[in-house]
Amino acid sequence: MMERTVFLIDMQSFYASFEKVYQMELEDKPVVVAGDPDIRSGVILAACPVAKQWGIKTAESLWEAESKCPDLVVIKPRMQAYLDASIEIASVLELFSDQVEPYSVDEIFVEMTYVLDSYDGDADSAARVMKRHIKRMLGVNARVGIGPTKVLAKMACDHFAKKTPDGIFTLTKTNLQEKLWPRAIEDLFGVGRQMEKHLRNTGIRTIGQLAHFPLKQIKKRWGVNGELLWHTAYGEDSSPVTVDTHIHRQGIGHHMTLARDYYSWAEIKVVLLELSEEVARRARANGYMGTTISTGAGGHDFEFPASFHRQRKLEDYTNDGTIIYQTVLRLFEEHWDGYPLRRVGITLNQLIPDTFRQLSLFHPIQDKEMLNHTVDDLKERFGNDAILHASSLTRAGQALLRAQKIGGHYK
């Protein structure tokens, strides 16, 4: 049986490298792309290799970066341009394989199993050709993680390819014990901050220790998620590389980091209404309805986090913002303890196509559906700020600002 080969292509310092391509005078300068300093305190989104030599890291604050490098060149993000470039890169990769799956703006999976014969079965040779094509056509450097599964390709890129001279690394089931298992448990794909704490409190500090931990006890303590992480430690992952991964969704959500602490219930309700309407609009745009609504919120202090995350199942499927909003209000009233909020999110889960709907004699919905689609059409034609709730024009509203952005950053 032919051994599978998957590539994960990662663009090195993508946003910053992209800006350097279009501003040649910045080639040898320390460049970072950062969020709006006036709104989000200037979080570093990307730092070029020259800036990284000064010790600047992604996600640190702009003032910290500038204290390390006084000559730092700071550029505001242009998300639409980066998205367009990402699409171009995917098109380049489709010259190599017809199975190309965007994973994020700067990361793309490519199934190479059946096309390596063109390179005499040499994955490294194919990776080098890919890197040259991307560099020649878009001017940015790529790194390539290679593995027999998507999860191994991802970890090969994240933890090893970024540190090799040629930016290529292969992680297989024959070398993962030597290379992957000694690494800290938080380096395992899928281990977040909370899971890291749970695992460390159990005495599991490396990936290898998790791999050697009895699976029966893992399942008993952490259920399906724990079992998945145990299999990930062995590089086991059956998920295919597919172009429609992001089409068949399990949930549609919208999350927001607020520009300041929100203390009052009146202000928080404004943001919850905006988020509810945005989630509903996205669901309708993608042709979905959902029956479970989840919401969560948190404060700004990551060292002593105050947060909650709860969900509620509805009687009927919906993609109506008002229903989502009313459900979220009830969840907040039950679970928010009154601490100031800096992060808020809402997700519509358990999706089905909105082609069919169970009609109710007691809850007519046809008129509301027509209204929702009319509003959607207006926003599609004239922009997201073409029609708003009056509350969005208050100091608490974020909709006008978000209408100027993609993914929370300026277009």
Tell me the CATH number at 275: 3.30.1490.100
Q: Check if 107 is active-site.
A: yes
23 found inside a domain: no
- 10 labeled part of a ligand binding site: yes
282 and 216 inside one domain: no
**DSSP 3-state percent helix, strand, coil across the chain (nearest 5):** 45, 20, 35
CA distance 365 to 387: 21
**148 DSSP 8-state letter:** S
Specify the pLDDT at position 155. Answer: 97
How high is the pLDDT of residue 131?
93
Residues 350, 392, single domain; the answer is yes
Residues 312, 385: one domain? yes
Main-chain dihedrals φ then ψ at residue 133, nearest 5 degrees: -60, -45
Residues 297 and 391 in one domain: yes
- The continuous run of DSSP H or E covering 100 comes out as strand 100-104
377 falls within a domain: yes
In this structure, the answer to whether residues 351 and 302 fall within a common structural domain is: yes
Note whether residue 293 is domain-resident: yes
CATH number at 217 reads 1.10.150.20
Is residue 271 a part of any domain in this protein? yes
Residues 346 and 206 in one domain: no
Q: Is 237 annotated as a binding residue?
A: no
Residues 200 and 339 in one domain: no
Note the pLDDT of residue 220.
92
Return d(Cα 323, Cα 277) in angstroms, integer: 10
User: Comparing C-alpha atoms, which of 405, 364, 399 is closest to residue 385?
Assistant: 399
Q: What CA dihedral angle connects 380, 382, 383 and 384, to 10 degrees?
A: -80
> Among the options 107, 111, 267, 278, which is catalytic?
107
Write out the residue range of the structural domain in which residue 209 sits.
178-233
pLDDT of residue 40: 44
The reported pLDDT for the residue numbered 229 is 95
What pLDDT shows up at residue 181?
A: 97
Q: What is the mean pLDDT of each run of 10 residues along the chain (411 residues)?
A: 88 91 89 71 84 90 88 87 85 85 91 86 92 88 96 96 94 95 96 91 95 94 92 93 61 78 90 91 86 84 63 88 93 89 86 67 57 70 69 69 54 49
Tokens 């292509």 map to which residue?
Answer: 9
Diameter of the chain measured on Cα atoms: 69
Q: Going by C-beta distance under 8 Å and a sequence separation of 6 or more, which residues neighbour residue 316?
A: 291, 358, 360, 363
- Identify the pLDDT of residue 303: 46
Which pLDDT does position 73 carry in this prediction?
A: 92
Q: Is 230 exposed, middle or buried (0-12, 13-18, 19+ CB in 10 A)?
A: buried
User: What pLDDT score does 378 carry?
Assistant: 67
- Among 233, 266, 301, the domain-final residue is 233
Count of the separate structural domains present in the chain: 2
Shared domain for 276 and 327, answered yes or no, is yes
Q: State whether 324 and 384 are in the same domain.
A: yes
Residue 197 domain-assigned (yes or no): yes
* Residue 322 domain-assigned (yes or no): yes
> What pLDDT does residue 339 have?
86
Residue 343 lies in a domain: yes
Say yes or no: 272 and 362 in one domain: yes
CA distance 66 to 59: 13
Query: Do residues 336 and 291 share a domain?
Result: yes
